[in-house]
Amino acid sequence: MKKKAYGKLNLGLNVIRKRSDGYHDLQMVTVPVDLFDTVEIIPNDTLSVVTDKWYLPLDEKNTVYQAIKLMHEEYGTPLNYHVKLVKNIPTQAGMAGGSSDGATAINIINEMNNLNLSQQQLIDIGVKIGADVPYCLFSRPSLVTGIGDQLQFLDIYTDFHLFIAKPKFGISTGSLFSNLTIDKANQDEFNQLVEGLTRGNYSQIEKNLVNDLQAAAIKVRPEVQEIIDDLKAFGFDNACMTGAGSVVFGITQSESLARSAVTEFYLKYPFVKKTKIITNK
């Protein structure tokens, strides 16, 4: 069985508090975009993973491998499959490429074995792999809270275009949180963003893109600010980092601007793409 594993962008990310267990409670507006990997899983004599990218792990460090083992341990599904993973989502980008691959593997194993797991059962498996996996199990525009395990699906306005640019570097999540200052003032921006998305107010959306991790990322890698400045200078209405980075996205209602940005920046940044939120998969 083969399925698409969609990448995501965080239009909003608000850090609420640090928990006693060391994790942080977050609020995120997370959306799927039309950039995806493909995961194909077929029965086999052993568990094996192959990919089209030489640098990806093929063992327990691979999220698809982890997902298959977890499903076997929790629900007794077969362990031996051959997995073919085709990667298009950049790594170390804040776009949940690995998480989406793992989530897609869970969905495939669930469907292949007719488990009919509930939404909560899927989330309980997914969160054991990573904080983005519960969202990626469904890949729908969502308000995501807690440590990524609480989802509220949103019907949102999507009449705008996005452009993503990834620099050569990734950013250590640990380094971000060690440089993080929790700013309660960003809560209003976050609320305004959600309201704009659900009411279809583009001006309210573009003015309130927010990522509490962005300031910390700029401390660690000042180049993030340079990308933001590049996209704004080119004509995007606003630009923001997604997740823990290092991808920065620009927002515009002009499809031609987003398209021309690919030509403008493809030599400057290793990965660029014009993209759009998807609501029906």
| Domains of the chain by start residue, with CATH | 2-153 (3.30.230.10), 161-275 (3.30.70.890)
Residue ranges in the chain assigned as alpha helix (H): 63-75, 97-112, 119-126, 133-136, 173-178, 186-199, 202-207, 214-220, 223-234, 255-265
Does 196 have pLDDT greater than 90?
A: yes
Please compute the mean of the pLDDT values over residues 241-255 and round it to a whole number: 96
Mean pLDDT across the chain: 94
pLDDT grade for 25, boundaries at 50, 70 and 90: confident
CB atoms within 10 A of CB 76: 10
Burial of 19 (0-12, 13-18, 19+ CB in 10 A): exposed
Give the dihedral sign, CA 279/92/231/222: positive
Does 214 have pLDDT greater than 80?
A: yes
Tokens of 82: 């051959």
pLDDT at 281: 65
149 and 76 Cβ atoms separated by less than 8 Å: no
Does 184 have pLDDT greater than 80?
A: no
pLDDT at 185: 61
pLDDT grade for 182, boundaries at 50, 70 and 90: confident
pLDDT grade for 24, boundaries at 50, 70 and 90: confident
User: How far is Cα 251 from Cα 170, in angstroms, rounded to an integer?
Assistant: 22
User: How far is Cα 162 from Cα 254, in angstroms, rounded to an integer?
Assistant: 9
pLDDT at 164: 98
273 and 257 Cβ atoms separated by less than 8 Å: no
Amino acid identity of residue 111, one-letter, is E
Q: How far lies 61's CA from each of 49, 122, 130, 242, 246, in Å?
A: 11, 20, 12, 23, 21
Please compute the mean of the pLDDT values over residues 150-173 and round it to a whole number: 95
253 and 161 Cβ atoms separated by less than 8 Å: yes
pLDDT at 239: 98
pLDDT at 181: 73
9 and 140 Cβ atoms separated by less than 8 Å: no
Does 42 have pLDDT greater than 90?
A: yes
Residue ranges in 76-147 assigned as alpha helix (H): 97-112, 119-126, 133-136
Active site amino acids: 8, 132
pLDDT at 90: 95
Lowest mean pLDDT among 108-117, 121-130, 165-174: 165-174
Please compute the mean of the pLDDT values over residues 155-178 and round it to a whole number: 91
% of the chain with per-residue pLDDT over 70:
98
Does 179 have pLDDT greater than 90?
A: no
* φ, ψ dihedrals at 254, nearest 5°: -100, 110
Does 56 have pLDDT greater than 80?
A: yes
pLDDT at 53: 93
Please compute the mean of the pLDDT values over residues 222-248 and round it to a whole number: 97
Contacts of 145 (CB under 8 A, 6+ apart): 25, 26, 27, 28, 152
Residue carrying the six token digits 């993209």: 275
N residues, the chain: 281
Please compute the mean of the pLDDT values over residues 148-170 and round it to a whole number: 96
pLDDT at 212: 92
173 and 244 Cβ atoms separated by less than 8 Å: yes
pLDDT at 151: 97
Closest CA to 125 of 141, 104, 143: 104
Q: How far lies 207's CA from each of 11, 201, 203, 240, in Å?
A: 11, 10, 6, 11
